């Protein structure tokens, strides 16, 4: 059938491309102008093509399907071939071919999807069920069943003993996020996934109990409304709520919560039940302490009559001149009713715009409907003019997110974020302040105000009163407390802005920042000049340690334990040579305190567990990490807080994956043999990222990369010996650790300048020399001892690049 005189000669197109071209040529020559669909000639060719599928390399599958129209062929042999691929453990090939041939309706969705989910290939699974609503529902039901309390994913994994699995990505929390995203993406009923929904509601109950019982930053009315809506009549959630309440020590406050929720007295702890009886008898409330101390919070500095609630086009027209005054500065914010269920962010209810001396509260439900009405048109014109006028400086805290919410709530303003001109996001300024201002020695990171409230406290001296934050912003009329809270949220932006402009150095901001904050008043950066605000945010200043700074501790002597929410921070700290243990997902946080006491570690945590953990360890041994920062910024803050000395020799002295600090050196030739023997002669090219392999091949050279300051890489770990291997196929160390050879790209094995590989003895992860060392040194330049220009001749003693 194929012309041997036109044979493939090993140059130019690949063998698969050549065969596909020849198949197409022969088909055209024999059946020109081509067989009709369903004709005997085409059916015969399809039958032969199906046989070829079993013997063809992956690159020929798509041409065969396309040329011979196999999606319309007899389904029985096609299904048999897909089942054969699955039985051989070629799960990816089976699901891809099944999707190309549109065989999903005839295949068991659980059987096809489970091994791919266990391998963290959820994207393939999503594409497989795309366009099949029934399969989407069955997939979500399967994933939801893995989130039920007490379920052990390892039981499922035992059915695939020969497959490399990634079970760490299948925690109930991670699975729950995927399920909620797919529910929203496909518009499916959340009732399909009761376990995930209950998991989400329980997390919301924990958050609300923390806000009410620990922070005391939510009103009784708002708290009770949200909790009743979440727990409803679900007995399991009600039981979890009772346990949450019983775990707090303030019996009087817990009794007040039980009274607000009408909880049965017999299900409460004895001390709480006694307090509840006293409350009923004396008809007293526990709200008074929460209302005391208003002077401890930021107070709106303008008279109440200068708050204007705008709900009609006439209101907008009356105040348009004040809102659009050229050259002024305005503070902007949004409020919406909190939502703790599936379905994405709710519609915005209120837009606040503050100018000097006044605050305007725009009623979004009234001003955005009906579509095409006089009020929506006037509102759209006003907001568009406000956003696009570069002479008006718009202030916000997370301004881009607020504008996206505004666009989602008001479709006419869907492009609001792109229209924005002349703005300053104080969230970015706040991040620079936090990066530059190391906490004072002895401060153990108390979880006080956060976000904008923390910025207001740092700049103006008092935090915001967040008591109304979780109230019902859809309710009309809004109560007086809500009106004042909303106005303060916007007006405080103006006062913070003015204070930062007056004294940037006081808040550890560069001198350029004051000018950048005033750019909205007509000043502009010169041609080719980086905008000052951008320069300020990309080069934070490091505050030198004072005489009373915390004692310096070497990186390899610093030991911490992190909760499961700080995985990214843990990897960054291990990358710098710090000994980091991480709690397993779902592990009791009290375990962190036990480990800290037994092994002399510092606790790094976030959110609710902080207060309990801090009480169980010594002063300064527990730090609440700011989760709004990126992992690299968190690591920098931790290093500065505890005065940790990090040198070039510390980088990669520990495995980022498992925390082990011992490696074995393997020559390139031995590594090639091990990879070949393990059945990966081409590395991960069959399933990996082709672009990544090209990049691997491009990074060639005759010597390892150098870190800043000329620090080359020459570790002192010992060579891998024959007796270190328990077996060569698969490559396994004496203690049973299997080397992760599938993660070594083919391009790395061919790199001419590469001499050695390094294998972690703890988890078997394989590392190699590359540019990662220099990138890490540059990323942590501000806290790294021996930066470019220094004379420290230290060397990195561990792998400088890895496949992940």
Short-list 392, 391, 414, CA closest to 403: 414
Instruction: Report the sign of the C-alpha dihedral through residues 527, 529, 530, 531, in that order.
Output: negative
User: What are the φ/ψ torsions at residue 767 (nearest 5 degrees)?
Assistant: -120, 165
Pairing of strands 784-785, 731-733: unpaired
Is 350 within 8 Å of 486 (Cβ atoms)? Answer: yes
Dist. CA 109–CA 364, nearest whole Å: 44
Sorted by sequence, the CB contacts under 8 Å of residue 732 that are 6+ apart come out as: 725, 726, 738, 739
Question: Six-digit token pair at 363?
Answer: 């009623």
pLDDT(710) > 70: no
Q: Of the ranges 36-50, 223-237, 608-622, which one carries the lowest mean pLDDT score?
A: 36-50
Dist. CA 232–CA 268, nearest whole Å: 18
Short-list 473, 469, 438, CA closest to 638: 438
- Which residues are 362's β-sheet partners? 310, 351
Task: Please indicate whether residue 791 or residue 254 has the higher confidence score (pLDDT).
Answer: 254
Question: Six-digit token pair at 184?
Answer: 């929203």
pLDDT(22) > 60: no
Query: For 14-40, what is the mean pLDDT?
Result: 52
Dist. CA 135–CA 707, nearest whole Å: 51
pLDDT(793) > 60: no
Question: Six-digit token pair at 610?
Answer: 């902080």
Instruction: Report the sign of the C-alpha dihedral through residues 565, 571, 573, 574, in that order.
Output: positive
Is 165 within 8 Å of 139 (Cβ atoms)? Answer: no
| pLDDT above 90 coverage of the chain, percent | 24
Is 422 within 8 Å of 364 (Cβ atoms)? Answer: no
| Cis peptide bond upstream of 33, omega within 30 | yes
Dist. CA 637–CA 762, nearest whole Å: 28
pLDDT of residue 744: 85
80 alpha-carbon distance from chain centroid: 41
Sorted by sequence, the CB contacts under 8 Å of residue 740 that are 6+ apart come out as: 763, 764, 765, 766
pLDDT of residue 445: 43
pLDDT(468) > 50: yes
Dist. CA 113–CA 33, nearest whole Å: 40
When pLDDT is cut at 50, 70 and 90, the band that residue 751 belongs to is confident
What is each CA distance from 417 to 24, 162, 275, 403, in whole angstroms?
Answer: 50, 50, 52, 6
pLDDT of residue 20: 57
pLDDT of residue 582: 92
Q: Show contacts of 186-190: CB within 8 Å, 24+ apart.
A: 186/133, 186/136, 188/133, 188/136, 188/137, 188/140, 190/341, 190/342, 190/343
Task: Please indicate whether residue 42 or residue 415 has the higher confidence score (pLDDT).
Answer: 415
Task: Please indicate whether residue 15 or residue 530 has the higher confidence score (pLDDT).
Answer: 15
pLDDT of residue 33: 44
Dist. CA 428–CA 492, nearest whole Å: 16
Q: Please, what are the domains in the chain?
A: 15-193 (no CATH), 196-281 (no CATH), 302-435+452-514 (3.30.420.10), 553-646 (3.40.50), 660-679+713-774 (no CATH)
When pLDDT is cut at 50, 70 and 90, the band that residue 752 belongs to is confident
Query: For 359-369, what is the mean pLDDT?
Result: 93
pLDDT of residue 560: 94
What is each CA distance from 600 to 558, 561, 615, in whole angstroms?
Answer: 9, 10, 16
Q: Of the ranges 48-52, 159-163, 305-309, 356-360, which one carries the lowest mean pLDDT score?
A: 48-52
Three-class SS state of 335: strand
When pLDDT is cut at 50, 70 and 90, the band that residue 47 belongs to is low
Q: Of the ranges 89-103, 317-331, 381-395, 689-703, which one carries the lowest mean pLDDT score?
A: 689-703
Dist. CA 436–CA 233, nearest whole Å: 49
* pLDDT single digits (tens) 628-680: 788 889 999 999 888 898 988 888 888 888 998 888 888 888 888 888 887 65
Is 136 within 8 Å of 182 (Cβ atoms)? Answer: yes
pLDDT of residue 57: 64
Query: For 784-800, what is the mean pLDDT?
Result: 43
- Range from 170-174, 420-424, 540-544 that averages highest in pLDDT: 420-424
Short-list 478, 339, 343, 452, CA closest to 396: 452
When pLDDT is cut at 50, 70 and 90, the band that residue 16 belongs to is low
Pairing of strands 725-728, 579-582: unpaired
Side-chain-facing half-sphere of 629: CA atoms under 13 Å: 22
pLDDT of residue 480: 94
* pLDDT single digits (tens) 415-436: 888 889 999 999 989 988 877 6
pLDDT of residue 503: 81
Query: For 107-112, what is the mean pLDDT?
Result: 92
pLDDT of residue 219: 86
Query: For 598-611, what is the mean pLDDT?
Result: 82
Three-class SS state of 468: coil
Q: Of the ranges 220-234, 297-311, 443-457, 757-771, which one carries the lowest mean pLDDT score?
A: 443-457
Task: Please indicate whether residue 423 or residue 557 has the higher confidence score (pLDDT).
Answer: 423
Q: Of the ranges 6-10, 269-273, 569-573, which one carries the lowest mean pLDDT score?
A: 6-10
Dist. CA 601–CA 622, nearest whole Å: 9
Residue with tokens 């001296």: 461
pLDDT of residue 264: 82
Query: For 780-789, what is the mean pLDDT?
Result: 66
* pLDDT single digits (tens) 127-137: 999 999 999 99
Query: For 349-371, what is the mean pLDDT?
Result: 93
pLDDT(286) > 50: no
CB atoms inside a 10 Å sphere around CB 641: 21
pLDDT(309) > 90: yes
pLDDT of residue 510: 66
pLDDT of residue 275: 85
What region, left, alpha or beta, does residue 389 occupy, with left being phi > 0 and alpha being psi -120 to 50 degrees?
beta
Q: Of the ranges 12-26, 466-480, 522-536, 708-722, which one carries the lowest mean pLDDT score?
A: 522-536
pTM of the shown model: 0.54
pLDDT of residue 248: 83
- Which residues are 581's β-sheet partners? 561
Query: For 82-108, what is the mean pLDDT?
Result: 88
Q: Mean pLDDT of all residues in the chain? A: 78
Dist. CA 426–CA 459, nearest whole Å: 12
Short-list 420, 405, 417, CA closest to 349: 405
Query: For 712-736, what is the mean pLDDT?
Result: 77
């Amino acid at each position: 059938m194929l012309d041997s005189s036109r044979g493939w000669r090993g140059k130019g197109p690949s063998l698969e491309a050549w065969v596909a071209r020849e198949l197409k040529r022969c088909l055209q020559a024999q059946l020109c102008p081509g067989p009709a669909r369903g004709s005997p000639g085409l059916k015969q060719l399809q039958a032969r093509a199906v046989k070829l599928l079993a013997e063809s390399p992956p690159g020929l599958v798509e041409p065969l399907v396309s040329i011979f129209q196999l999606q319309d062929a007899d389904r029985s042999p096609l299904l048999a071939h897909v089942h054969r691929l699955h039985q051989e453990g070629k799960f990816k090939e089976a699901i891809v071919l099944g999707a190309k041939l549109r065989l999903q309706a005839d295949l068991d969705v659980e059987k096809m999807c489970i091994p791919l989910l266990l391998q963290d290939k959820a994207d393939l699974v999503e594409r497989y069920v795309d366009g099949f609503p029934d399969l989407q529902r069955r997939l979500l039901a399967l994933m939801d069943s893995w989130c039920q309390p007490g379920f052990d994913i390892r039981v499922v994994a035992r059915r695939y003993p020969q497959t490399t699995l990634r079970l760490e990505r299948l925690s109930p929390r991670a699975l729950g996020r995927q399920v909620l995203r797919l529910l929203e993406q496909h518009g499916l009923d959340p009732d399909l996934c009761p376990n995930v929904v209950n998991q989400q509601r329980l997390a919301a109950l924990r958050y609300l109990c923390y806000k009410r019982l620990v922070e005391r930053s939510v009103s009784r009315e708002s708290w009770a409304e949200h909790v009743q809506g979440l727990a409803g009549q679900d007995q399991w959630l009600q039981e979890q709520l009772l346990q949450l309440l019983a775990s707090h020590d303030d019996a009087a406050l817990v009794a007040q919560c039980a009274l607000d929720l009408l909880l049965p007295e017999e299900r409460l702890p004895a001390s709480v039940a006694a307090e509840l009886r006293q409350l009923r008898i004396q008809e007293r409330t526990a709200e008074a302490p929460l209302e005391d101390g208003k002077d401890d919070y930021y107070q709106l500095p303008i008279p109440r009559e200068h708050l204007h609630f705008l709900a009609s086009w006439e209101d907008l027209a009356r105040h348009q001149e004040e809102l659009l005054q050229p050259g002024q500065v305005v503070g902007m914010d949004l409020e919406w009713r909190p939502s703790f269920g599936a379905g994405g962010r709710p519609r915005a209810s209120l837009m606040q715009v503050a100018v000097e001396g006044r605050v305007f509260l725009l009623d979004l439900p009234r001003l955005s409907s009906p579509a095409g009405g006089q009020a929506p048109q006037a509102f759209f014109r006003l907001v568009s003019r406000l956003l696009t006028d570069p002479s008006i400086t718009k202030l916000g805290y997370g301004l881009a997110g607020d504008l996206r919410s505004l666009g989602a709530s008001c479709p006419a303003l869907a492009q609001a974020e792109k229209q924005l001109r002349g703005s300053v996001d104080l969230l970015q300024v706040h991040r620079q302040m936090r990066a530059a201002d190391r906490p004072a020695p002895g401060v153990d990171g108390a979880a006080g105000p956060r976000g904008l409230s923390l910025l207001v406290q740092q700049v103006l001296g008092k935090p915001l009163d967040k008591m109304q934050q979780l109230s019902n912003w859809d309710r009309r009329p809004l109560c007086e407390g809500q009106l004042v809270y909303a106005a303060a949220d916007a007006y405080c932006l103006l006062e913070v802005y003015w204070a930062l402009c007056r004294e940037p150095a006081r808040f550890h901001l560069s001198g350029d920042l004051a000018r950048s904050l005033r750019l909205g008043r007509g000043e502009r950066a010169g041609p080719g000049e980086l905008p000052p605000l951008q320069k300020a945010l990309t080069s934070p200043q490091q505050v030198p340690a004072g005489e009373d700074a915390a004692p310096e501790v070497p990186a390899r002597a610093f030991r911490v334990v992190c909760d499961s929410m700080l995985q990214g921070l843990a990897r960054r700290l291990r990358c710098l040579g710090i000994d980091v243990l991480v709690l397993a997902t779902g592990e009791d946080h009290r375990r962190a305190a036990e480990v800290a006491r037994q092994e002399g570690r510092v606790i790094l945590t976030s959110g609710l567990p902080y207060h309990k953990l801090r009480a169980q360890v010594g002063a300064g041994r527990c730090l609440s990490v700011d989760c709004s920062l990126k992992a690299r910024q968190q690591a920098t803050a931790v290093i500065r807080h505890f005065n940790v000395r990090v040198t070039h020799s510390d980088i990669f002295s520990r495995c980022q994956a498992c925390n082990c600090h011992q490696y074995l050196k393997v020559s390139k030739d031995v590594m090639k043999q091990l990879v070949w023997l393990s059945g990966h002669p081409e590395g991960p090219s069959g399933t990996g990222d082709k672009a990544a392999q090209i990049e691997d091949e491009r990074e060639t050279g005759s010597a390892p990369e150098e870190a800043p300051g000329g620090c080359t890489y020459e570790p002192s770990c010992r060579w891998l010996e024959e007796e270190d291997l328990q077996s060569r196929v698969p490559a396994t160390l004496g203690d049973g650790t299997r080397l992760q050879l599938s993660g070594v790209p083919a391009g790395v094995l061919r790199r001419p300048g590469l001499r050695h590989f390094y294998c972690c003895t703890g988890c078997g992860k394989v590392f190699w020399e590359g540019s990662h060392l220099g990138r890490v040194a540059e990323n942590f330049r501000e806290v790294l001892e021996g930066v470019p220009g220094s004379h420290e001749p230290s060397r990195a003693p561990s792998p400088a690049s890895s496949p992940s």
